[in-house]
Every structure is written in structure tokens, then in C-alpha cells.
């Protein structure tokens, strides 16, 4: 892999994740290739630990999440764990725990890039949709096949998918349960770009580094404004944007950014 710059360095060890770093970009790999990177409770718990650590670490400006091997990003929830759920309360808790992670990921003041290298099905598709930017390999496919197991999406598929692809297509994907290709996902607006498999991580890192070079303060405010604006009406979103724009204007990064532009030099952003 050509990262086009800094060498990647290994970070903290986890049971189900591999963590690497390329400058200010942290790369998280779900590492359960024998079960197509299924999202066990351990995976979800360790992903939450990573998100918490990234939020507290000023040296991390972008997260990339991908899957190990060449077959799957994450092929869904761990079916053995689903089989072991015995009651409606068990199911509610299982879903609630996943929502807790994915909402925390959405609230993370740093962008999350999903590099989808293969199957992104069920919980895997829902994990991808919790990211801010979704890049896909030509071999990737997406779907919500829970209906085939007699259940419904439980990690956000019933509300994130309609927001991205529209109500009727989401209904089809959830009720029929078929997969769609990476190219169709791009045409629907589910993913940002589709590239050959050997270019996927390079593209994610390149994009991550580009974002990491921007003002952390502005990136945080922009992500928050977009996510919160989607949940409210247009007039309220305009008021919200004005508030966050004002906050951005008051930062040291704004002073540095405008000064650097006028002085025809590269800005040195600090996040303040």
C-alpha cells in the first residue's frame, strides 16, 4: 500500500481490531476474517473504545474504518449471538447497545471515513452508514437482509437508509432483503466513490489526510451543523448554521486561515 507520505505505525492492540496510524489519520480494521468480520459484542465494545480514545486524542483528526481480508467489510451482526437472544428485552438491549456506539460515532467531532472493501450487510451496512464519508471497493456490496432471518434492521437501517437512498428504495432493500452492488450504491447516493480494491485504502488515507490538514475547529462545526441540520426544519437549520458559523468566526483558526489566504501561504491550524 502506498500511503504517499508518513509510514504507518502500529497502535494499541485489541482482540478484534487492528489499529494503525498514518500521521493524524487512524486506521481501524475489523479483524475477524473467518466470520467475514461479523459484528460481535466484542467488536462493538472495542469500536466504542476506539471512538472514545479518538475523541480524547488531539493528534487524531480522522478515523478510517475498514475490514480485514478481501471479502467483507462486515457481513452483519454475529448470527450466533442473535440466536442466543431469548426475549424481546434481550433484543432491545442488543439494538440499544449498537445504537449507543453508532450515535457516539456520529457525534464524534472528527470525521469517520468508511472504506468498504467487501460485503457490508445488515449491521455492516448500518455501520458504514454511520460514517461521514463512505468509499467502496468495486467488489463491495450493500444490503439489509435481516428480513430473511425473521427480524428487522436493528443498528439504524430503518432510519439512516431512507435518509440516504429515499423511502421507496429503502423499503425495497429492507423488505426484499437483496444486495446491491457498489456501483448501484453510488448511483443511489449511499457511497461517495467506487474504486478498484487495491486503491481503496490509499484513497481513504489520501482523503483523510486532506481533511486532517483543515481546521479541526471548522471540521467539527461543519460535521455538527450537517448532522443536526438534517434532523430539523429548514428555518431552524438556518438559525443553527448561523450560530455555528459565528462560533467558527470567533476561532483562532479563522484568523489563521484568512491571514494565510491573504499572505499566500499554507495555514497552520491548531483547532483553537
CB neighbour list of residue 147: distance below 8 Å, 6 or more residues apart: 174, 175, 176, 177
**Does 126 qualify as catalytic in the annotation?**
yes
Residue 217 phi/psi, 5-degree rounding, is: -65, -45
- 139: cell is 467488489
Confidence of residue 2 (pLDDT cuts 50, 70, 90): very low
Domain covering 9-212 assigned CATH 3.90.226.10 in the classification: yes
**Mean pLDDT, residues 218-228 taken together:** 96
Q: Which residue has the higher pLDDT, 8 or 179?
A: 179
Q: What is the pLDDT of residues 53-90, one digit of tens each?
A: 999 999 999 999 999 998 999 998 888 888 898 899 99
Same topology, domains 9-212 and 216-262? Answer is no
pLDDT at 82: 86
pLDDT at 65: 98
Q: Where are the domains of the chain?
A: 9-212, 216-262
pLDDT at 15: 95
pLDDT at 78: 84
* Residues 269 and 210 sit within 8 Å (Cβ to Cβ): no
Mean pLDDT of the chain: 94
Model pTM score? 0.93
In the predicted structure, residue 215 carries a pLDDT above the cut 90: yes
pLDDT at 1: 41
Active-site annotation holder among 146, 228, 231, 252 = 146
**Mean pLDDT, residues 99-124 taken together:** 96
Lowest-pLDDT range, 75-79, 111-115, 219-223, 240-244? 75-79
In the predicted structure, residue 168 carries a pLDDT above the cut 90: yes
Q: Please state which CATH class domain 216-262 belongs to.
A: mainly alpha
pLDDT at 11: 53
In the predicted structure, residue 268 carries a pLDDT above the cut 80: yes
Q: Which residue has the higher pLDDT, 83 or 30?
A: 30
**Does 187 qualify as catalytic in the annotation?**
no
Confidence of residue 4 (pLDDT cuts 50, 70, 90): very low
Active-site annotation holder among 126, 138, 206, 228 = 126
Q: State how far the Cα of 115 lies from the Cα of 134, in Å rounded to an integer.
A: 6
Q: State how far the Cα of 43 lies from the Cα of 269, in Å rounded to an integer.
A: 34
Amino acid at each position: 500500500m502506498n500511503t504517499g507520505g508518513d509510514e504507518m505505525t502500529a497502535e494499541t492492540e485489541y482482540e478484534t481490531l487492528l489499529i494503525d496510524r498514518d500521521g493524524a489519520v487512524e486506521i481501524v480494521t475489523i479483524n475477524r476474517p473467518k466470520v467475514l468480520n461479523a459484528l460481535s459484542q466484542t467488536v462493538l465494545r472495542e469500536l466504542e473504545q476506539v471512538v472514545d480514545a479518538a475523541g480524547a486524542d488531539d493528534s487524531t483528526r480522522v478515523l478510517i474504518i475498514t475490514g480485514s481480508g478481501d471479502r467483507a467489510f462486515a457481513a452483519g451482526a454475529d448470527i450466533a449471538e442473535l440466536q442466543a437472544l431469548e426475549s424481546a428485552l434481550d433484543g432491545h438491549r442488543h439494538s440499544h447497545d449498537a445504537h449507543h456506539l453508532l450515535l457516539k460515532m456520529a457525534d464524534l467531532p472528527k470525521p469517520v471515513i468508511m472504506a468498504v472493501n467487501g460485503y457490508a450487510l445488515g449491521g455492516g451496512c448500518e455501520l458504514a452508514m454511520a460514517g461521514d464519508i463512505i468509499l467502496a471497493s468495486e467488489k463491495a456490496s450493500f444490503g439489509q437482509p435481516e428480513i430473511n432471518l425473521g427480524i428487522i434492521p436493528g443498528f439504524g437501517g430503518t432510519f439512516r437508509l431512507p435518509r440516504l437512498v429515499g423511502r421507496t428504495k429503502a423499503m425495497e432493500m429492507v423488505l426484499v432483503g437483496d444486495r446491491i452492488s457498489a456501483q448501484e450504491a453510488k448511483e443511489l447516493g449511499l457511497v461517495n466513490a467506487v474504486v478498484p480494491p487495491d486503491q481503496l485504502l490509499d484513497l481513504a488515507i489520501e482523503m483523510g489526510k486532506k481533511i486532517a490538514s483543515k481546521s479541526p475547529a471548522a471540521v467539527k462545526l461543519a460535521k455538527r451543523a450537517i448532522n443536526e441540520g438534517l434532523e430539523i426544519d429548514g428555518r431552524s437549520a438556518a438559525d443553527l448554521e448561523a450560530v455555528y458559523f459565528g462560533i467558527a468566526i470567533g476561532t483562532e483558526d479563522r484568523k489563521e486561515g484568512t491571514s494565510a489566504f491573504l499572505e499566500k501561504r499554507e495555514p497552520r491550524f491548531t483547532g483553537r
